A and B are shown apart, each in its own frame.
Chain A
Amino acid sequence: SAVISQKPSRDICQRGTSLTIQCQVDSQVTMMFWYRQQPGQSLTLIATANQGSEATYESGFVIDKFPISRPNLTFSTLTVSNMSPEDSSIYLCSVRTGAEGAQHFGDGTRLSIL
């Protein structure tokens, strides 16, 4: 399975600011996914990051709030913009690898907004 590194692992931010989360994979992957997990909740997909094209956002998530970059097949970033306390969540990067196509996750970024 792929090794997925996310940075930062956690942060505490002021409302109104923005934070960029990085996701690095040790092998080339076609699709990378960004999920959000609000406190006490399950995981919800924010968007699929495709190399060479714009990200595909799920209902309820917009590019202005969660801009995503995918400059190559091993790296992606998610920015959480103009943060409010409601954005306090764990953000996780995921990739599909192997013949089975199982998904694997990074360790997540635990974000708290004051």
Chain B
Amino acid sequence: GIQVEQSPPDLILQEGANSTLRCNFSDSVNNLQWFHQNPWGQLINLFYIPSGTKQNGRLSATTVATERYSLLYISSSQTTDSGVYFCAVPQTSGSRLTFGEGTQLTVNP
């Protein structure tokens, strides 16, 4: 099946800094999702982004499907951005998601 790798595994920032998280996948996919898991365990949808670029406030994501990677950009980070960021892709069209191992982000005040 499709393998998903995320980097870096851990990231520590000072409030106000920018960051880029990366997600590589081993085969063609028809969609990709980014999630944020907050410290209470809630998994929040950030982006559904099979290709191209999307922006939502301080966050944006770009997927280059032909090169099998996606990037999540966080600008002007805040302490509330702390948590684990996961990317996930489906194994086959419309099927269940396979998750990467996540990036643990800590934003210090």
Show the binding face of A for B, using Cβ within 8 Å. Answer: 1, 33, 37, 41-45, 48, 58, 90, 92, 94, 96, 100-105, 107-108, 110
Task: Give the shortest distance, in Å, between B88 (CB) and chain A (any CB).
Answer: 8
Residues of A within 8 A of B73 (CB): none
Closest 7 CB pairs of A and B: A102-B48, A105-B43, A42-B99, A43-B99, A45-B96, A42-B101, A108-B41
Task: Give the shortest distance, in Å, between A100 (CB) and chain B (any CB).
Answer: 5
Residues of A within 8 A of B101 (CB): 41-42
Residues of B within 8 A of A1 (CB): 45
Task: Give the shortest distance, in Å, between A3 (CB) and chain B (any CB).
Answer: 13
Which single member of B45, B94, B98 contacts A101 (CB below 8 Å)?
A: B94
| A42 with B86: CB separation less than 8 A | yes
Q: How far is the CA of A94 from the CA of B44 in the complex (A)?
A: 12
Closest to A56 in B: B96
Residues of A within 8 A of B94 (CB): 96, 101
Task: Give the shortest distance, in Å, between B75 (CB) and chain A (any CB).
Answer: 23
| B42 with A108: CB separation less than 8 A | yes
Chain B 67-109 per-residue mask, 1 if CB under 8 angstroms from chain A, else 0: 0000000000000000000101000001011111110000000
Asked whether any CB of chain A lies closer than 8 Å to the CB of B33, the reply is yes
- Known: A42-B86, A101-B31. Contact between A90 and B41, CB under 8 A? yes
| B42 with A100: CB separation less than 8 A | no
Closest to B6 in A: A42
Residues of A within 8 A of B86 (CB): 42-43
Q: Could you list some 24 contacts between A and B, CB below 8 A? A: A1-B45, A33-B96, A33-B97, A37-B41, A42-B100, A42-B102, A43-B43, A43-B86, A44-B99, A45-B96, A45-B97, A92-B43, A94-B97, A100-B31, A101-B94, A102-B31, A102-B33, A103-B33, A103-B88, A104-B45, A105-B35, A105-B43, A105-B45, A107-B42
